[in-house]
Amino acid sequence: MPVRGRSCTPGRGTVRRVGDTGGVNDPHAPGTRHFASDNYAGVHPEVLAAVAAANVGHTPAYGDDPWTERLQEVVRAHLGDAAVAYPVLNGTGANVVALQAMLPRWGAVVCAETAHVNTDENGAPERVGGLKLLTVPTPDGRLTPDLVARQAWGFGDVHRAQPGVVSLTQATELGTVYTPDAVRELCDQAHALGMRVHVDGSRIANAAAHLGLPLRALTTDCGVDVLSLGGTKNGLLLGEAVVVLDPGAVDGVEYLRKAGMQLASKMRFVSAQLVALYEGDLWLRSAQRANAMAARLRAGLDALGLDITLPTEANGVFVRLPRPVAAALRRTWRFYDWDVADGTVRLMCAFDTTEQDVDDLLAALGEALGGTAAS
């Protein structure tokens, strides 16, 4: 079991003032692009322009506005005529609202041990959603029918929280991608057991870009019931959406969204961003760039003879770094420890990562490795 730690020296919980470098080069310097997370990136200029364009006069609040109406058309064009989008504020909120709407009070969610809902939402699905998570270890973040079967049992047993949903993450937290066949297999299994399928699609654009497929080929066409559609990690200021693909899979999404504090009063600004991202090909262009930069980074790490621990199928690279080398890099860049025990770190690329950013990191890495070898 890897020992996770999110230290990026200083830790992301450390309170710092802008300009306070604390011995590290200024992490807030304009133009600095880090490798900690795709949500370290700013807002895509086209998204910001869409927010400015939506800033006209008064419009009804809470989603009764033309931008949210337009978003429904955009989402239907991607995901099919039955798709209904419920914009929310963040990815944790999207997951909790979606899962709550899919399950009764006695329901449980089967998911990977590494799933964001399990590891990085501070227990929100349990605390806020009142749901039980039934987790399974996976080699690379991906569920399979055999792995799901380890937890999908005990139907009708009053002593066991009732497995009602399989939740998979696309792309996974470990930077891997499910093929449509793999998603379809999980959906078929779940449906045969009377369960439903939720996809945490925080990085679904990166998965689609990797596979060269439209979004519906990974979701609607495979039988996915509900999707948490990503935005923030792909260039939005903030905003995701719960997208219901099968209306029969949910109950009361709109009420749960409000009760769960995810109903934006000025929703037009969330919807305008999602429209800007998904109306044309911005979602794809941005994800393609992030993925391409991760591939470039991986090739460079490989050439340096480093141990890359997982496939690079989306925008994250997992690599083992000698401790002094990681410390040297952290004088300039932030990135997360992924497995503190074995020195694995996660290097994440974003829509705005450049070739130069990657090459600078690789050059510093080469230098630090040289220093380590010499010492």
Ligand X SMILES: Cc1ncc(COP(=O)(O)O)c(C=O)c1O
Kindly list the residues in this chain that would bind ligand X in the complex (CB under 6 A): 90-92, 116, 120, 169, 173, 200, 202, 232
Closer CB to ligand X, 336 or 369, in the complex: 336
Residue 201's SS3 state is strand
Cα 200 to Cα 229: distance, rounded to the nearest angstrom: 7
Question: Please, which residue, 168 or 368, has the CB nearer to ligand X?
Answer: 168
Q: Which is nearer to ligand X, 120 or 279 (CB)?
A: 120
Query: 192: how many CB neighbours lie within 10 A of its CB?
Result: 9
- Specify the pairing of strand 132-136 against strand 107-112: parallel
Shortest Å distance, C-beta 202 to ligand X: 3
Q: Cα(84)–Cα(81) distance, rounded to whole angstroms?
A: 8
Cβ contact 242:86 at 8 Å: yes
Minimum CB separation from ligand X for residue 362, in Å?
Answer: 24
Closest to ligand X by CB, 176 or 202: 202
Sign for the CA dihedral angle at 23, 26, 28, 33 comes to negative
Half-sphere CA count of 123, side-chain side, radius 13 A: 3
What element of type H or E holds 48? helix 45-54
The DSSP string of 91-149 is HHHHHHHHHHHHS-TTEEEEEETT-HHHHSSTTHHHHTT--EEEEE--SSS---HHHHH
Q: How far is the CB of 188 from ligand X (least distance, A)?
A: 24
CB 197 to ligand X: min, Å = 16
Q: Of the two residues 91 and 125, which places its CB atom closer to ligand X in the complex?
A: 91
- Closest contact distance (angstroms) between CB of 39 and ligand X is 6
Sheet holding 196-201, edge to edge: 84-88, 240-244, 226-229, 196-201, 162-169, 107-112, 132-136
Counting every residue written for the chain, the total comes to 375
Nearer to ligand X, 37 or 309 (CB): 37
Task: Please report how close the Cβ of residue 260 comes to ligand X at its closest, in angstroms.
Answer: 12
CB of 199 to ligand X, least distance (A): 10
CA atoms within 13 A on the CB side of 351: 27
**Residue 297 or 348 with smaller CB distance to ligand X:** 348
